[in-house]
Structure 1
């Protein structure tokens, strides 16, 4: 596992330089889910794949930017699903973005995720590693140094509501309105990594990306985005649900499956469950 963490650190240093110097324009291609790829997406993907190909313990990898699983070492132990540059469209307006990694064994599904890592590229570069606990590291003098353990409070103060609001179910809109009416503060950049990182570091709150009339199964991808952060939130003492059950109990039938998702501290997660249970 440690060699995988070191590989992610190497990729982070290279992607940091790419973000600072690279072309933020669109490419001529789309990924498997129909999103137009930015040149930064493709180059970040290439950087991570090149580094992972050198790691003997990695059995297979799958990227959000690729159509299929790539087998690497038949006698490897770990499977890695990753989003090379989540929120890449925010780079050209100089907002924070990130990379997300889910580390699995045996199969790519929620039951088999054993660790996760995400990297935030902002004013500072920070890496959060989730195994039995959640640890944050910061890039200082080109090396990642341990900063702190992350633990959520029972109740937070932030609300980050995602997806297209005019496609929300009425009961979901009422839930979000009620949370704001209770004094929660809006914090939403459109980047999953920095928004969830902020909730983790500030002690709690709610990030939501529900199923909607245009996307009933949500937009965020299970293997690359949702499951890695679900593990982090649970290990930090909070929760991650699809509205009705733990995200880490959601079934996966295809590598690019999506799911509605809510991440937060326990008070907010309980609140979502109560509302959604009445609106099945």
Structure 2
């Protein structure tokens, strides 16, 4: 596992350099869900794949930017699903973006996650690794230095409501409005990685991306985005649910499946579960 973390650190440095100097324009290609790929998406994906190809412990990888699973080493133990540059459209306006990695054994399901990692490329480059604990590192003089362990409080102060609001269910809109009425502060950049990172570092709150009338199964992808952050939040003493159940218990039928998702500290998630239970599916 250590060599995988070291490989991710190496890829993060290369992607940081790419962001600083690379072309932020659109490519002529689309990813598996029909989104036009930026040139940075493609280049970041290539960086990560080429680094993982060198690791005998990695059996297979799958990227949000590719249609299929890529087999690497038959004798490998680990499967890795990753989003090479989440929020890449924010680069050209100089907002923070990130990379997300889920490390699995046996097959790509939430129950088989054994570690998760994400990287934030912002004013500072920070990397968070979750195994039994959640540890944050910062890039200093081209080397990642340990900074702190991360633990969520039972209750937070931040509210990051995602998705298209005019497509929200009325009960979901009331939930979000009530949370703001209770004094929570809006913190939403449109980047999953920096918004979830902020909630973790500020001690708690709620990030939501519900099912909506235009996307009943949500927008965020299970293997590359939802499951890794669910693992991290649980290890940080928080929770991650789809409104009705634990995210990591959701069944995956396709590598690009999406899911509604709520991440946060315990009080906020319990509030979500109560509202969704009362209003049914």
Same fold (TM over 0.5): yes
Shift of 1:278: 0.6
For 1:58-73, what aligned pairs fall within 5 Å after superposition? 58-73=58-73
Deviations 1:190-230 (A, max 9, x none): 00000000000000000000000000000000000000000
Q: Aligned residue pairs: how many?
A: 280
Matched, 1:188 2:188: yes
Give TM-score, length-normalised by structure 1.
1.00
Matched, 1:219 2:228: no
Quote the residue 1:277 is aligned against.
Answer: 277
Question: 4+ residue runs of structure 1 moved beyond 6 angstroms?
Answer: none
Alpha-carbon distance between aligned partners in 1 of 2:242 and 2:133, rounded to the nearest angstrom: 22
Quote the residue 1:100 is aligned against.
Answer: 100
Matched, 1:14 2:18: no
Alpha-carbon distance between aligned partners in 1 of 2:249 and 2:131, rounded to the nearest angstrom: 18
Matched, 1:128 2:111: no
For 1:248-259, what aligned pairs fall within 5 Å after superposition? 248-259=248-259
Q: Secondary structure at the match of 1:117?
A: strand
Quote the residue 2:56 is aligned against.
Answer: 56
Quote the residue 1:142 is aligned against.
Answer: 142
Alpha-carbon distance between aligned partners in 1 of 2:226 and 2:92, rounded to the nearest angstrom: 25
Alpha-carbon distance between aligned partners in 2 of 1:231 and 1:132, rounded to the nearest angstrom: 10
Shift of 1:148: 0.2
Quote the residue 1:240 is aligned against.
Answer: 240
Deviations 1:52-73 (A, max 9, x none): 0000000000000000000000
Q: Secondary structure at the match of 1:42?
A: helix
For 1:24-173, what aligned pairs fall within 5 Å after superposition? 24-173=24-173
Give TM-score, length-normalised by structure 2.
0.99
Q: Secondary structure at the match of 1:245?
A: coil
Q: Which structure 2 residue ranges, 5 or more long, are not aligned?
A: none
Deviations 1:2-25 (A, max 9, x none): 000000000000000000000000
Shift of 1:186: 0.1
Shift of 1:260: 0.2
Q: Which structure 1 residue ranges, 5 or more long, are not aligned?
A: none
Matched, 1:201 2:201: yes
Alpha-carbon distance between aligned partners in 2 of 1:10 and 1:233, rounded to the nearest angstrom: 24
CA RMSD of aligned residues (A): 0.3
Shift of 1:112: 0.3
Alpha-carbon distance between aligned partners in 2 of 1:19 and 1:219, rounded to the nearest angstrom: 25
Deviations 1:121-141 (A, max 9, x none): 000000000000100000001
Quote the residue 1:4 is aligned against.
Answer: 4
